[in-house]
Amino acid sequence: MALLLLLLLPVAGAAVLGVIGAHRRAPEVNALISVGTFLAACALTARVIHHGTVLLGDEQFFIDPFNVFLVALTAFVGMTTALFSRPYMRVELDHGRLSAGRLRLYHSMYQLFMFTMLLALTTNNMGLMWVAMEGATLSTVLLVTLYRTPGSLEAGWKYFILCGVGIAQALFGTILLYVAAGKVLGAQGMTALLWTHLDAVKSQLEPTVLALAFVFLLIGYGTKVGLVPLHSWLPDAHAEGPTPISAVLSGLLLNVALYAVVRSKVLVQGALHSQLPSQMLMGFGLLSVVLASLLLWRQRDIKRLFAYSSIEHMGIATFAFGMGGAIATFAALLHMTVHSLTKSSIFFTAGHAAQKAGSQAIEQIRGLITLSPTVGWGLMLGSLAILGVPPFGVFTSEFLILTTAMREQPWATPILLAALAVAFAAILSKVQPMVFGETTVRRLAHPPALLPVFAHLAIVLLLGVYIPPYLAEWYRAAAHLIGGP
User: What is the binding site for other proteins (CB under 8 A)?
Assistant: 125, 127-128, 130-131, 134-135, 138, 141-142, 145, 148-151, 153-154, 156-158, 160-161, 164-165, 168-169, 171-172, 175-176, 178-180, 182-183, 188-190, 192-193, 206, 208-209, 212
Residue 96, phi-psi category: left (phi > 0), alpha (psi -120 to 50), beta (remainder): left
Considering beta carbons, is residue 188 or 445 the nearer one to other proteins?
188
d(CA 78, CA 34): 6
Q: For residues 392 and 464, is the Cβ–Cβ distance under 8 A?
A: yes
> CB of 358: closest distance to other proteins in angstroms?
21
Other C-beta atoms within 10 Å of 424: how many? 18
Q: For residues 392 and 338, is the Cβ–Cβ distance under 8 A?
A: yes
| Radius of gyration of the chain, Cα coordinates, nearest whole angstrom | 21
d(CA 285, CA 225): 10
Cα three-residue angle 121-187-276, rounded to 5 degrees:
55
> CB of 223: closest distance to other proteins in angstroms?
13
Considering beta carbons, is residue 182 or 367 the nearer one to other proteins?
182
Give the HSE-up count for residue 208: Cα atoms under 13 Å, Cβ half-sphere: 0
Considering beta carbons, is residue 151 or 390 the nearer one to other proteins?
151
> CB of 185: closest distance to other proteins in angstroms?
12
> CB of 346: closest distance to other proteins in angstroms?
23
> CB of 211: closest distance to other proteins in angstroms?
8
Considering beta carbons, is residue 234 or 431 the nearer one to other proteins?
234
> CB of 180: closest distance to other proteins in angstroms?
6
Considering beta carbons, is residue 130 or 474 the nearer one to other proteins?
130
> CB of 167: closest distance to other proteins in angstroms?
9
Give the HSE-up count for residue 307: Cα atoms under 13 Å, Cβ half-sphere: 26
CA dihedral of residues 69, 319, 340, 70 (deg, nearest 10): -20
Considering beta carbons, is residue 135 or 367 the nearer one to other proteins?
135
Considering beta carbons, is residue 119 or 402 the nearer one to other proteins?
119
d(CA 202, CA 205): 5
The b-or-e profile of 371-395 (16+ CB within 10 A means b, else e) is ebebbbbbbbbbbbbbbbeeebbbb
